[in-house]
A and B are shown apart, each in its own frame.
Chain A
């Protein structure tokens, strides 16, 4: 990586800017794709193909009254939406976009990502608590239980990759995939991580913390204006982050023939993001107890078995 301070600054702000812009663009892209899959136009009025919908939404959010309920725990209420944004943007620091692009080359990069995704839980939990509202509290409770339990095997599912590459460093993991992408030998790990990733970013079908037909809007019921916007952008950021991480860990990161590395990385990530949206369009939401049963009784044993088999095979080969 380049060491001159200007290149470093360009790197940092470039990654930040692209991440936030992509998240903003995704608010439009998701609705367009959903519309496409559900046989309706989606937002297509503002600008060419509706691309300026993002700007229209932003103006609307900024001009809404920034309402803080009287009964809320005000400092925590204000703090909550910032946590998810901050944690997710910090998470982008370890993503190696290409050999030259990437903010920091951390030796424990993978663990850093796990740490940041576990910090993002506070946003939802505190938002639910501080709103002092029954629906929000229920949403916060669900979010806490869901994320803490899915985090367990989110970490475990990645250990197969760590064992095969022998490193927590994301760049070394990408380089270890020179011959085969880890999605083939670690297919179970890939599936488990993908599902856990959906649960971590609480997207449909695992969006029980904000299930609108039972909890109005869950943890962000009381939020309006840009505070709500931050929750929203934070969710998209986590979708992008999880997709970028799956690309790095299982799909060979920037590796690929002919095209430049950055293009490969963005291409793979966008396909995964589209997959996230397709899942949302296709699948209904499970019941809450079904979600927890599925997590603890199916996914956890599966990821443990994957871990055991990977370790066994690696020992056998050596």
Chain B
């Protein structure tokens, strides 16, 4: 029962993310959607994943995205442009593709090819840690390499810019 309520919130807010014309409002709906997903995680016995969902996605990544959108200073002009882009004719392609996915999902659910979601089992922080550093150690290492590459890349780009503006002192 609680699950359906939370899922409804998640779906409704995600729909609003797609159809909202104001970028910041859309992002706020995305935050709500992420929070709803975190609640679902918690309900299904994964409190660690729920906490990380809120801390990392809703609390850090979305703040940074809002940060960037804020600086773009989009006003009514951007909203008008967005409503032009969301003309009904444009929905056909993505709508059709998503409909195929939805059909697949419905068939799969009808065929019963899903795990039994009523059989909850609790996954605490300790279990997550043990799994990450034993079975999934390769994935963890790969992710850390990817992040390091991203970090070095960002650092390089930021440095390059400062060298060009060498007239400006202490421009960070």
A183 in contact (CB, < 8 A): no
Instruction: Assess whether B59 is in contact with A115, with CB atoms less than 8 Å apart.
Output: yes
- Whether A289 contacts B70 in the complex (CB less than 8 A), given A115-B51, A115-B54, comes out as no
Min CB gap B168→A, angstroms: 13
Chain B residues with CB under 8 Å of A168's CB are: 125
Q: Please tell me the size bucket of the interface on B.
A: 20 to 34
CB-CB < 8 A to B71: which residues of A?
A: 141
**Of the residues B24, B48, B63, B124, contact of A144 by C-beta under 8 Å:** B63
Query: Do B67 and A118 touch across chains, with their CB atoms under 8 A apart?
Result: no
A119 to B47, alpha carbons, bound, how many Å? 17
Q: A129-B66, A141-B70 given as contacts; is B170 within 8 A of A289 (CB)?
A: yes
A108 contact from B48, B60, B70, Cβ within 8 A: B48
**B:55-98 near A, CB below 8 Å:** 55, 58-60, 63-64, 66-67, 70-71
**B24 and A151 contacting across the interface, CB-CB below 8 Å:** no
Q: Quick check: is A255 within 8 A (CB to CB) of the other chain? A: no
- Most A C-beta atoms less than 10 A away, residue of B47, B59, B124, B170: B59
Quick check: B60 and A118 within 8 Å, CB to CB?
A: yes
Is there an interface contact between B64 and A148, defined as CB atoms closer than 8 Å? yes
Q: How far is A128 from B63 in the complex, measured between Cα atoms in Å?
A: 13
- Whether the Cβ atoms of B58 and A119 lie closer than 8 Å is yes
Q: A122 CA to B50 CA in the complex, in Å?
A: 19
Chain A: CB-nearest residue to B73: A137
Q: CB of B172 within 8 A of chain A?
A: yes
**B36 contacts partner chain A, Cβ-Cβ < 8 Å:** no
CB pair A114–B51 under 8 Å, yes or no, is yes
Q: Assuming A118-B60, A122-B31, is B51 touching A112 (CB within 8 A)? A: yes
Question: Chain B's nearest CB lies how many Å from the CB of A144?
Answer: 5
A141→B68 CA distance, assembly (Å): 9
CA–CA, A115 to B39, complex, Å?
A: 13
Q: Which of B28-46 contact A (CB under 8 A)?
A: 28, 31
- Residues facing B in A130-151 (CB within 8 A) are 137, 140-141, 144-145, 147-148, 151
Q: In the complex where A106-B47, A111-B48 touch, is A118 in contact with B70 (Cβ < 8 A)?
A: no
What is the bound-complex CA distance between A128 and B67, given in angstroms?
Answer: 10
Asked if B25 is an interface residue, CB under 8 A from chain A, the answer is yes
Assess whether A75 is interfacial by the CB under 8 Å rule.
Answer: yes
User: Are B55 and A114 within 8 A (Cβ)?
Assistant: yes
Question: Smallest CB-CB separation from B172: which chain A residue?
Answer: A289
For the complex, give the distance between the alpha carbons of A135 and B54 in Å.
29
With CB as the reference atom, state the residue of chain B lying closest to A106. B47
With both chains docked as a complex, state the minimum distance between the C-beta of A136 and any C-beta of chain B, in angstroms: 10
CA–CA, A137 to B68, complex, Å? 12
Residues of B within 8 A of A111 (CB): 47-48, 51-52, 55, 125
Nearest first, the 5 closest Cβ-Cβ pairs linking A and B are A118-B59, A111-B51, A115-B54, A108-B47, A144-B67
**Residues of A with Cβ closer than 8 Å to B?**
73, 75-76, 79, 106-108, 111-112, 114-115, 118-119, 121-122, 125-126, 128-129, 137, 140-141, 144-145, 147-148, 151, 155, 168, 289, 292
Given A107-B125, A118-B63, A148-B60, 14 new contacts (CB under 8 A): A73-B24, A76-B24, A79-B28, A107-B47, A107-B124, A108-B47, A108-B124, A122-B63, A125-B66, A126-B24, A128-B70, A137-B70, A141-B71, A168-B125
A sample of 30 cross-chain residue pairs with beta-carbon separation below 8 angstroms, ordered by A number, consists of A76-B28, A107-B124, A107-B125, A108-B47, A108-B51, A108-B125, A111-B55, A111-B125, A114-B51, A114-B55, A115-B54, A115-B58, A115-B59, A118-B55, A119-B54, A119-B58, A119-B59, A122-B66, A126-B24, A128-B70, A129-B24, A129-B66, A129-B70, A140-B70, A141-B70, A141-B71, A144-B70, A147-B63, A289-B172, A292-B172
